[in-house]
Amino acid sequence: MEEENNIENLEIRTWKKKLVLSWIITIPIIILMYSEMIFGIHLLTSSVMTLVVLVLAFPVIFIFGFSTLKSGLKGFTTLYFNMDSLISLGTVVAYLTGIIQFFYPIQNYSGISAMVMAIFVTGKYIESKARGRAGQEIKKLLELGAKNATVLRNGKEIEIPISEVKIGDVIIVKPGEKIPTDGIVVKGESSVDESMISGESLPVDKLKGSPVIGATINQDGILYIRATKIGRDTFLAHIIDLVEEAQGTKVPIQKLADKITSIFVPAVLVLSVLTFVGWIIFGNLNSAIGSAIAVLVISCPCALGLATPIALTVGSGMGAKRGILIRRGEAIQTMKDVKTIMFDKTGTITKGKPEVTDIKTYGKIDKKEFLKISASLEKLSEHPLSKAIVNYANLKVYQKVTSFKVLRGKGIEGIISKKKYLIGNRRLLEENGINLSKFIQDIEKYESEGKTVMTVSEGKKVLGFLCVADSVKEDSKEALQILQEKGYNTVMITGDNERTAKAIAKKVGITQVIASVLPEEKSKKVMELQESGFVAFVGDGINDAPALKQANVGIAMGSGTDIAIEAGDIVLTKSSLIGVTQAINLSKKTFGKIKQNLFWAFAYNVVAIPLAVSGILHPVFAEIAMALSSITVVTNANLLRRTKI
């Protein structure tokens, strides 16, 4: 993979170098040619200028454009014509007119040949840069895993490269370290941040016998883990395989220009030959050469080469200002056919971090005192739920807590002013002999809304509840309503349980919910929906990367992991779902401009080629028409800036 990336980077650097050198040479050619035509200033005599232009244009066409000429000329031997064929034909014939001029008085187009190639090289650089980014998500996935592992061998702790870990090795993982490989906890207790894999914001408590996944992060306790999978068998390696598979099956659809060119090139070539023969029979050699060249010059693909990239450039710039980054141009075309939009829940529809949503107290204690006691206890814990409560309370002074304990998987306990307090789940309170039968109805009500309920007790008395949940983003409901009004089928997918998932879905107006989905199953669910039409997937976690690649259009949230961002065709830097609606509008408007540009790129040909064939259109005016077609395309693309998305 590293070798692959080096090849991609080398290709980008090569095209960039060709681009810079091509324009350094082409700009003086333009000055020489147009200073005489527009301002009437003869910088050089005609023969000297022809020689200078030929010398300057040679490296642009035959050195920097060699790979293009090679590919284009191959089209004439295989009879499969592409954009390179058109470029090769136009530039070589135009260049040869400069040489012929020394022997026969015809119009010189050798300078035009350099301009055409310089524009084409610019487009190839943009294309290679876009392709170079495509494989970065795999590279970043590979970088996620731990590089070394501390293992127990012969009673001693030794650090070894991850490649030397064997199945059955006991690995020691300290707080803050990555878990090197998949395994089972044989000793110790801790909570593990699995958000990189699951996408879920809350860490998972790990006890003896709990399974753990490589590349996840141990938080607050030492774990002794027996390795059960290594190398290509690990979960992370499996995710990488899924992303690679999805990349391989995604068929590029931006082939419209090539399809048109495959017909257009041989048609122009035949027409040019027929024009030459016709004028030899009914006219003279000079008219035959001039008219034939006029046909070829007017068909040179400057505008065709600009049609798509200039619209993409303008569309991308508009998107960037609004926090919409278009990473792959084909998404622009694909988006118009999308029927279903699938959303990951955590970090996409929701904020991705727990917040206090409800506080309910019983008896004489008021909410202020209740919150002060709760926050003072929770301040000593590193658990994200504890941090949510402390942040919500926002106290300046906390009460003194003694005998504090974290009860893994249950909650916490501590003493304040000689009174023992417990904060935790039902299991914790029931184990301490506290009867919750009077409160079950309230607990189940909050849990049905997808909230985590923590009961606070003093001794045997229940003081109240703290409810924490991953809250919905402010604009999620509005964005989903807009999409549904436009006729899109919206679906939510999550690894969460069905009750929590349906509670969130109800808040934002989604009726179709796919819950309790394992990370590796998300891409399969996308494939199932693709049987009914094109699917866009919106996500933010590592576990979303295969689904983002499998989807016809992957939309990644900018607040998500680097892997998800690299896997996305479109990235929303503001992480707002309103960005999804804007991205769809921008894609459709930009593709509309691409179609208009392709129309204008050929409109000049449709009008001007018959004039060139008939000898009415002088080669100089054919050259001007060709330039005007490019100007029209650029101007039309820039009108996109006035569009509201």
Q: Among 514, 574, 579, 587, which residue's Cα sits nearest to residue 547?
A: 514
Predicted confidence band of residue 284 (pLDDT cuts 50, 70, 90): confident
Predicted confidence band of residue 198 (pLDDT cuts 50, 70, 90): low
Say what the pLDDT of residue 255 is. Answer: 58
Q: What is the mean pLDDT of residues 305-316?
A: 72
Tokens 């970043």 sit on residue:
140
Other C-beta atoms lying within 10 Å of the C-beta of residue 14? 15
Residue 512 DSSP one-character state? E
Which has more confidence, 77 or 419? 419
Say what the pLDDT of residue 156 is. Answer: 84
Q: Among 154, 145, 143, 162, which residue's Cα sits nearest to residue 227?
A: 162
Phi, psi (degrees; rounded to nearest 5) at 574: -85, -5
Contact 236, 419 (CB under 8 A): no
Query: Cα(64)–Cα(428) distance, rounded to whole angstroms?
Result: 73
Most confident segment among 52-56, 145-149, 267-271: 52-56
Catalytic residue among 169, 344, 470, 496: 344
Predicted confidence band of residue 616 (pLDDT cuts 50, 70, 90): confident
- Give, in degrees to the nearest 5, the angle at Cα 376 between 370 and 378: 100
CA 95 to chain centre: 41
Handedness of CA 9, 13, 16, 18 (dihedral sign): negative
Give residues with Cβ within 8 angstroms of 491, minimum separation 6.
340, 341, 342, 343, 510, 512, 513, 514, 529
Say what the pLDDT of residue 1 is. Answer: 45
Say what the pLDDT of residue 372 is. Answer: 93
CA 102 to chain centre: 54
Give residues with Cβ within 8 angstroms of 447, minimum separation 6.
453, 499
Say what the pLDDT of residue 165 is. Answer: 87
Which has more confidence, 542 or 216? 216
3-state secondary structure string, 419-460? Answer: EEEEEECHHHHHHCCCCCCCCHHHHHHHHHCCCEEEEEEECC
Say what the pLDDT of residue 197 is. Answer: 61
Say what the pLDDT of residue 242 is. Answer: 47
Q: What is the mean pLDDT of residues 293-304?
A: 67
Query: Cα(221)–Cα(574) distance, rounded to whole angstroms?
Result: 35
Q: What is the mean pLDDT of residues 476-481?
A: 90
Q: What is the mean pLDDT of residues 39-47?
A: 69
Element (H, E) at 68: helix 66-78
Say what the pLDDT of residue 249 is. Answer: 37
Q: Among 371, 330, 302, 242, which residue's Cα sits nearest to residue 626?
A: 302
pLDDT tens digits, residue range 243-268?
554 444 333 334 566 666 667 778 88
Strand order in the sheet with 350-361: 350-361, 461-472, 452-458, 419-424, 411-416, 402-407
Residue 54 pLDDT > 60, yes or no? Answer: yes
Residue 317 pLDDT > 80, yes or no? Answer: no
Residue 42 pLDDT > 70, yes or no? Answer: no
Residue 133 pLDDT > 50, yes or no? Answer: no
The answer to whether 344 is a known catalytic residue is yes
CA 347 to chain centre: 16
- Range in 296-300, 555-559, 619-623 the model is least confident about: 619-623
Tokens 């990336």 sit on residue:
5
Say what the pLDDT of residue 250 is. Answer: 37
Contact 376, 398 (CB under 8 A): yes
Q: What is the mean pLDDT of residues 55-84?
A: 83
Q: What is the mean pLDDT of residues 470-493?
A: 89
Residue 58 pLDDT > 90, yes or no? Answer: yes
Query: Cα(564)–Cα(137) distance, rounded to whole angstroms?
Result: 8
- pTM of model > 0.75: no
Query: Cα(634)–Cα(305) distance, rounded to whole angstroms?
Result: 11
Predicted confidence band of residue 202 (pLDDT cuts 50, 70, 90): low
| CA-to-CA dists, residue 397 to 375, 383, 386, 394, 400, angstroms | 10, 20, 17, 9, 10
pLDDT tens digits, residue range 163-173?
888 899 999 99
Say what the pLDDT of residue 262 is. Answer: 67
Residue 308 pLDDT > 70, yes or no? Answer: yes
How many alpha carbons lie under 13 Å from residue 189 in its C-beta half-sphere? Answer: 7
One DSSP character per residue, 188-252 reads --EEEE-HHHH--SS-EEE-TT-EE-TT-EE-SS-EEEEE---GGGSHHHHHHHHHHHHHHH---
Residue 472 pLDDT > 90, yes or no? Answer: no
Q: What is the mean pLDDT of residues 84-111?
A: 80
Separate counts of helices (H) and strands (E) for the chain: 23, 22
pLDDT tens digits, residue range 549-573?
889 898 888 665 555 666 778 878 7
- Percent of the chain residues topping a pLDDT of 90: 15
Give residues with Cβ within 8 angstroms of 495, minimum separation 6.
198, 199, 200, 516, 517, 518, 519, 543
Residues in the chain, how many? Answer: 645
Query: Cα(49)–Cα(284) distance, rounded to whole angstroms?
Result: 27
Residue 316, SS3 per DSSP: helix
Which has more confidence, 440 or 78? 440
Element (H, E) at 346: none
CA 3 to chain centre: 22
Mean pLDDT of the chain: 80
